[in-house]
Amino acid sequence: MPSDVEFQSGGQTIKGHLYLPEGGTGPWPVVVMAGGWCYVKELVQPDYARVFAGAGLAALVFDYRNLGTSGGVLRQHLDPWEQIEDYHNAISFVETLGELDANRIGLWGISYSGGHVLITGATDPRVKAIVSNIPVVDGWKTMQLCHGSLGFRKLTDAVAEDRRKRFRTGEYGYLPMSSTHPHDELATWPFPEVTTAFAALKASEAPNHEHRNTVASVELLMNYSVWPHLDRILNVPTMMTVADHDDITTWDEEIRVFNAIPVKDKELFIFNETSHMTLYSNKSRLEIAAEQGRRWFVRHLIDAYR
């Protein structure tokens, strides 16, 4: 069973779960993990963390500020740069724990955090390995493709109106994370299967998940890109997994990013006949993704130090 831990980031208390390998002795290499859009630490990530712990890797899974059990007054507000700062502070936290090896720290991310770990790994020299799963790599382009021309007009109008309202009242507006009726209801991710998958996950393993976000989060997403940071990934071994039916974060854009990363020690794994949400709803696909991440981290955080 994982232990409850907490640390400070941006003046907020960040809550997490620390998974340690059973048997043997530390200090253990550690994988720092956080989730995608509106994730909480109980959602999907424990499946990966347990696989890593079974291979001799500790894993820290945490809730970003404003989400789950972590602090933050503006609930369900997703600022990617604050979330990346939470990653940096999570790294600082694991450095303080005697049972963990501060010289063997890896980063794992999925969807939105799949982009975050590329940026964090590019900007934090303490990171020794990266695994990025089905990442968001360009928020503007992603929203354009997801919503289509007419839907994107509605989305940008909603963002502008929310900014006007915040100026007048100081109040933040909210959008559903997704919707089963995207033609009738504006939502951040207009895919019914997102609603179905997250409803099942909330019912089964992640009751703290809230299926909404501030409108301001969408504006921040549309200004988000990993591209300015890629040429700084020079010596951090990087694995990226993409799904060949992913039309949400779009696998072709992800592969363009992978090809632009200059580090020589990198690997691309492509899931065949797999969509973005399949990695959440299909346990066999999740198991494959966990195994690929395990293999990469063992190679670079354990075998490389023997």
> What is the reported pLDDT for 273?
87
Mean pLDDT across 144-166: 98
Q: Is the pLDDT of residue 26 over 80?
A: yes
Mean pLDDT across 217-246: 97
Q: Is 195 domain-assigned?
A: no
Cα–Cα dist 64/72, whole Å: 9
Q: Is the pLDDT of residue 284 over 90?
A: no
More reliable by pLDDT, 23 or 274: 274
The CATH number that applies at residue 71 is 3.40.50.1820
Question: Which amino acid belongs to residue 177?
Answer: M
Low-confidence winner among 37-51, 60-74, 277-291 (lowest mean pLDDT):
277-291
Report the Cα 18 to chain-centroid distance in Å. 17
Mean pLDDT across 268-277: 92
Nearest to 65 by CA among 16, 1, 18: 16
For helices 283-297 and 45-54, the axis angle rounded to 10 degrees is 40
> What is the reported pLDDT for 103?
98
Cα–Cα dist 238/84, whole Å: 17
> What is the reported pLDDT for 148?
97
Instruction: Enumerate the β-bridge partners of residue 212.
Output: 176
Q: For the chain, what is the domain count?
A: 1
Average pLDDT in the chain: 96
Q: Is 150 domain-assigned?
A: no
Q: Is 21 domain-assigned?
A: yes
Phi, psi of 226 (to 5 degrees): -85, -15
User: How many other CB atoms sit within 10 Å of the CB of residue 190?
Assistant: 23
Alpha helices of 186-305 — where are they, by DSSP H?
192-204, 215-222, 251-260, 278-281, 283-297
Q: Is 207 domain-assigned?
A: no
Cα–Cα dist 90/87, whole Å: 5
Q: Is 160 domain-assigned?
A: no
pLDDT digits (tens, 9 = 90+) for 111-143: 999 999 999 999 999 999 999 999 999 999 999
Residue 281: band (very low, low, confident or very high) from pLDDT cuts 50, 70, 90:
confident
Question: Which amino acid belongs to residue 146?
Answer: C
Q: Is 203 domain-assigned?
A: no
Residue 53 belongs to domain spanning: 3-139+227-305
Residue 1: band (very low, low, confident or very high) from pLDDT cuts 50, 70, 90:
confident
Residue 283: band (very low, low, confident or very high) from pLDDT cuts 50, 70, 90:
confident
Mean pLDDT across 178-192: 96
Cα–Cα dist 62/15, whole Å: 6
Cα–Cα dist 245/49, whole Å: 25
